[in-house]
Structure 1
Amino acid sequence: MEVAGDPTDFIPVFNRLDKNGALYKKVQETIKNLENDRIVGIRIKISQVPAYYTWKHDVNAVFKVDLPGAWRLIYGVLAIHDEMKALLMELFDHKSYNKRFGYK
């Protein structure tokens, strides 16, 4: 499936990662899996998906991938004209993840 990254919430963070680090390598592995039509991570219940993702991306399904160093990758899967596409929506540390999802 085609994979793209959100230009404001994913790409800038991804570009700042250490290219030799475990976090970067795990994100790259996740991208390769998605490109090979392998869904990875945990599907988030629609009732738990922050409204931010719903209004910004209008995705059909949202997934969370746990990464090294307690980082999280949130991506959505969209069906456009019968083609599946993955949108890497956000990459952040655990504290920012908790804030986005309203956890204490």
Structure 2
Amino acid sequence: MKFNKPLKIRGTKDDFVPFYTSLNTSSKLHKSITDTIDLLKQEPTRGDHIERNKIPDYYIKKFKIKTLFRIELVDYWRLMYAIHSFDDVGIGILVLEALDHKKYNARFGYKN
């Protein structure tokens, strides 16, 4: 699904934003996240859509989301995001968190 204009993107203030701002801006992970966010502005459904019954309760309870997407980053990291409605801008993208392989498996209940 493409949108006529780029969507606004926000990161979760307690999870994604502190993590992202702590990264060295010259790191591969920072570049991968930045490039991915730029792509998502134009094509928000570019990531893999997670089926509703497979969305971890953690995301539903903490962020009150109804949709969840995953997109792969460099070195087996994943960016979790939702298409979300914001009071001030309407529909946008809420970046929930970036997870390494081990934390991703734990969040989704997979065995390492």
What TM-score range do you get, normalising by the shorter chain? 0.7 to 0.9
Q: Which residue of 2 aligns with 1:57?
A: 63
Q: CA RMSD in A?
A: 1.8
Residue ranges of structure 1 left out of the alignment (5+ in a row): none
Name the stretch that deviates more: 8-17 or 42-51.
8-17
TM-score by length of 1: 0.87
Q: Report the number of matched residues.
A: 104
Q: Which residue of 2 aligns with 1:85?
A: 92
After TM superposition, what 4+ stretches of structure 1 lie above 4 angstroms from structure 2? none
Shift of 1:94: 0.7
* Higher strand fraction (1 or 2): 1
Q: 1:39 aligns with which of 16, 41, 45?
A: 45
**Cα–Cα, structure 1 residues 103 and 28, in superposed 2: closer, same or farther, change >3 Å?**
same
TM-score by length of 2: 0.82
| Contact kept? 1:60, 1:79, Cα under 8 Å | no
Distance (whole Å) between structure 2 residues aligned to residue 55 and residue 31 of structure 1: 24
Identity of aligned residues (%): 33
Residue ranges of structure 2 left out of the alignment (5+ in a row): 1-6
